[in-house]
Amino acid sequence: MLVDSNFLILGLAVFGASVLQAATGIGYGVIVGPIFLVLLNGTEAFQISTAHNLLIALILLPFVLAKIDRTILKHLIVGSCIGIPAGFLLQLTVSITFLKLFSAVIVGLITISLGVSMATPNIQKSRIKVSSWESRLIGMIAGFMGGTLAMPGPATSTWMSVRGWNKEAVRSTVLSFFVFAYGANAVLHVMYSDISQATMRLTLTLAPVVVLGILFGNIISKFVSERVFKIILLIVLILTVLGLLASL
C-alpha cells in the first residue's frame, strides 16, 4: 500500500509525463516507468506503465493517422514480434536490481542523446532511404526494450529522427507503433504475470490523471516552445537516473 507522499509523487509524475507526451510526443514511458520502479520496487511498475501508455496511444491515434509512415510502421511491427516476447522473458527471469540498473543505463543514454541533440544546431536533414531489414531490426530492438522496460519509444523515435523523418511523421508513426507494442505487452502481462488487485486499482485511479495530462498538454503545446519542454524533460531524466541508482 502506497503512503500518501508516494502516491502524490506518482500522480505528479503521471500528470507531468502525460503533458510532455501530448505536447512533444516524448516523455511518458521514459519518466514514469523508472519512477514507478523506484517507488513500487517491482514489475507492477511496468504493468501500470504499459496500461497508461496504451491508453495515451489510443487517445492520440485518431489525431495522427494522416501522417503515419505505414511502410515503416509495418516493418517496426514485424521486428517487434521477435523483440517483445524476448524482452518480456528477460523481465520475468532477472532481478529487480538488474532491471533498475538496466533502466538507469537506458535512461542515461537517452538523457545524453537528448542533451546532445539540444546542443546541436538545428540543421535541416533530408530523408535517408532505409532498407526493410534495417527497419525490422529497429523494431526488434524497440520491441525488446518495450518487453523489458515498457519503453519501445526511444529506439524508434531516435532512429527515425536521425534518418531524416520530420517531427510529425516520427510522432505519428511511433504513436501508432505504441498501440501494437503496448497492446502486445499488455496481453503478455495478463497471460503470464501476476497482476494484483492493488496494481489494477492504482492503474485505474491514475488513469484520469493521464487523460487530464493529455488534454492539458494539447492546450499548452500551442503556447510553450518544444525546447522548454525538452529542458524540463532533461532535468527530470537526470533526476530519474539518480533516483534509480540511489535505489540499488
Find which of 29-38, 155-164, 201-210, 220-229 is predicted with most confidence, using mean pLDDT. Answer: 201-210
Give 90-145 pLDDT, tens digit per residue.
Answer: 999 988 888 888 888 888 887 887 788 777 765 555 566 788 899 999 999 999 98
Phi-psi region of 122 (alpha: psi -120 to 50; beta: other; left: phi over 0): beta
Give 191-215 pLDDT, tens digit per residue.
Answer: 988 888 888 999 999 999 999 998 8
Confidence band, pLDDT 50/70/90 cuts, at residue 228: confident
Structure confidence at residue 191 (pLDDT): 92
Residue listed under C-alpha cell 518495450: 146
Confidence band, pLDDT 50/70/90 cuts, at residue 73: very high
Structure confidence at residue 147 (pLDDT): 92
Beta-carbon count within 10 A of 200 CB: 14
Count Cβ neighbours within 10 Å for each residue of 78-113 and write b for 16 or more, e otherwise: ebbebbbbebbebbeeeeeeebbebbbebbbebbee
Confidence band, pLDDT 50/70/90 cuts, at residue 25: low
Structure confidence at residue 1 (pLDDT): 46
Across the chain, mean pLDDT equals 84
Confidence band, pLDDT 50/70/90 cuts, at residue 226: low
Find which of 86-90, 121-125, 150-154, 242-246 is predicted with most confidence, using mean pLDDT. Answer: 86-90
> Cα separation of 156 and 218, whole Å?
22
What pTM was computed for the model?
0.85
**Which position has the higher pLDDT, 23 or 12?**
12
Annotated domain spans of the chain: 4-246
Of 63-72, 79-88, 225-234, the range with the lowest mean pLDDT is 225-234
